[in-house]
Structure 1
């Protein structure tokens, strides 16, 4: 994604030379575009830097925090404790800290959906057209954060439409004002779906490319499976095997959130029943609906940690609802209520202190938790070889995909032919570290200790960089490479 963004910032094409694609090809299955466009704008202004790859995720996490608190304030008017609790949980929970630091396209869904839910809730409660227009714009942009929203957003709007009709909150003028900007933004993505479903050729919409993918991933929907239901429960609350989406040994929202969530979930189901029975509008229904749609959709897919981040605000909001319901139940027992509030605060504070010590104080490192697909670039090694032609030998092997080399060198997509897996180069060979052979150099990550030790035994010279080493053979006076 970062290399695609670099190409867009400099040349107006992605790495496959598609001009301004509205859906990235990536490795053939596609990737949502909004993150790449935001990075491209930053690269255009500041040049390439790894921090800028993370910056959109940081900014959208801030949107989650700000609008998440605003939503909670609207759901509990006149009460400061629920909004405070939501703000604290959105700040200290491991899952939200982790998702706010990595440049993954689908992570923008969380911030964008929180903005959309806030504007939609304001529109439904006030009936003001400006909020409907804002919901339409934010909902349209939400579609560019992650392809799952192609299912989530229409389902949410359809069920919400029935709900507002039932509780007599429907505004034809408002829904029309929301539909227009949302439809305009959705139109190119609809065309992309038509192209891929009906196997039509790739098309242009002005300067924008309507991408034809090598594989259309709608086949990933395999039907409801109870094992996936259990996997989703585990993945949402406990975590998963990916160390960049959940921290080993820590619950995503701390263990206390699990009972509070289920209290809140039952409370919201009861509110929904009463709302429908009495035909009275209740704003918290939209949060419950958002959670259920995403959760049940993933019971028809393979749950993966980074894919489900769009559900996180709903989890926090329902947990806060459980806390508020519990404290309201104890409202007549003031001492017990205060004691329980203090105990909950202390529990979360201790949990965050424990996680913070692990995460910020040195236990969570590149050595203890190497992140696949998030390796440091090999720019320094390539620059070293280019500056020392006497050490270049016949070629250089690296285990990383081709795109790592291209981003490391910021090569022009016009100068380097790229077709997903291979590089048009007689010198750099990417994608694997083969059996060691004389006359070649090797770029090796620090965690590949056995491979590096074998190179050292064979007499290769090692140049150490941050996170990896370059191994090369020095030639003797007759030009023959020295090796053990």
Structure 2
């Protein structure tokens, strides 16, 4: 046990040095291009550490407290604290923020040490000019990267730091008479921002009982694993991959201040035909870069499932498979409804490009009946 504990502490100590001197792989803390401290500072930090340790040792031998001693003890204290951290509390940059007080002192001490070692004025001027230029270039490069590329590359941190949805309730209220406003909305951040923005009482949500994934028709904790095509979506202006993905599916983007509201692609269409009874189109979702179009239907004339189905998209036929629906048979109490399901896999951009989609039921005698048809609205 002692050996295992020692190995864990050594691993933690190594991680602490790596995370605080270089980068900790958390994009909201640091990134490898620049590190936690500009990499040009590291040689001076080590020189300063040697200088500080030597001065502390000499002050102890001479029984005089040197000003460098408290800094060294501070650094050692941070090391001890970092070794205690484990699990989610591993010594990342944020949790070890106190160590940078000592690091900054050591870097300064290292620069002063090099400066004092230079005997000639021109050497000191050259050293000062080169060092100032390196830090200036590093700062300008970092500032440019931070305000441009970093905004896109660091987007995964949205679950930690995110804008509230203050603009969404007002937007939905303004358009509450529109059919799409009654659809469920998927929000790309965790529940707390949703609750704050919509002023929902925690007692209504009852997280211990209901969980934190949904509230009513809305999804409030990241995008679901399967993109629900019949829902609306809200994404950040910075989330370029999601913006491109939803646009490809056929969602209608509405630019807002902090977000883009994507209206369900079915709002591009008018429903020309829809069997009123014994037909249901399930919540269509994206599956492996395609759309899974599925549901169930019973022929109202025969009071039995159709023998087969045809799906036509802009004149092209798409393969439709009959699928068993134990849920339908169980709820309706009809075993003969077991084969009422249908499933078709259609291209991801279908609802963004097609003008018509028609689902037809085929009876055993070969006769057909249109079950569902949508036609693109005229602009």
Q: TM-score range by the shorter chain?
A: 0.5 to 0.7
1:358-384 per-residue CA deviation (whole Å, 9 max, x = no partner) reads 334x3332x243151223333323332
The 2-side partners of 1:444 and 1:423 are apart by 17
Matched, 1:408 2:197: yes
Deviation of 1:318 (Å): 1.0
TM-score by length of 1: 0.47
Matched, 1:318 2:109: no
The 2-side partners of 1:257 and 1:232 are apart by 18
2:124 counterpart (337, 347, 354): 337
Question: RMSD of aligned C-alpha atoms?
Answer: 3.5
Number of equivalenced pairs:
261
Equivalent residue for 2:302? none
Equivalent residue for 2:263? 471
Q: Closer, same or farther in 2 for the Cα pair 1:415/1:338, shift >3 Å?
A: same
Larger RCO, structures 1/2 (Cα 8 Å, 6+ apart): 1
Q: 5+ residue gaps in structure 2? A: 275-280, 285-349, 352-379
Equivalent residue for 2:180? 391
Equivalent residue for 1:303? 91
TM-score by length of 2: 0.58
Equivalent residue for 1:379? 166
Deviation of 1:238 (Å): 1.8
Equivalent residue for 1:58? none
Q: Closer, same or farther in 2 for the Cα pair 1:383/1:292, shift >3 Å?
A: same
1:410-463 per-residue CA deviation (whole Å, 9 max, x = no partner) reads 445466544495278323221243334465323244676676566556554332
Equivalent residue for 2:212? 422
The 2-side partners of 1:285 and 1:442 are apart by 57
Equivalent residue for 1:363? 149
Q: Closer, same or farther in 2 for the Cα pair 1:391/1:293, shift >3 Å?
A: same
* Equivalent pair of 1:385/1:391 in contact (CA under 8 Å): no
* Equivalent pair of 1:223/1:299 in contact (CA under 8 Å): no
The 1-side partners of 2:156 and 2:249 are apart by 29
Q: Mapping of 1:236-315 within 5 angstroms?
A: 236-301=20-85, 302-315=90-103
Structure number with larger C-alpha Rg: 2
Equivalent residue for 1:462? 253
The 2-side partners of 1:337 and 1:271 are apart by 23
Deviation of 1:404 (Å): 1.8
Q: 5+ residue gaps in structure 1? A: 1-220
* Equivalent pair of 2:30/2:36 in contact (CA under 8 Å): yes
Deviation of 1:310 (Å): 1.8
Deviation of 1:335 (Å): 3.6
Structure whose residues are more often helix by fraction: 1
Equivalent residue for 2:288? none
The 2-side partners of 1:341 and 1:385 are apart by 59
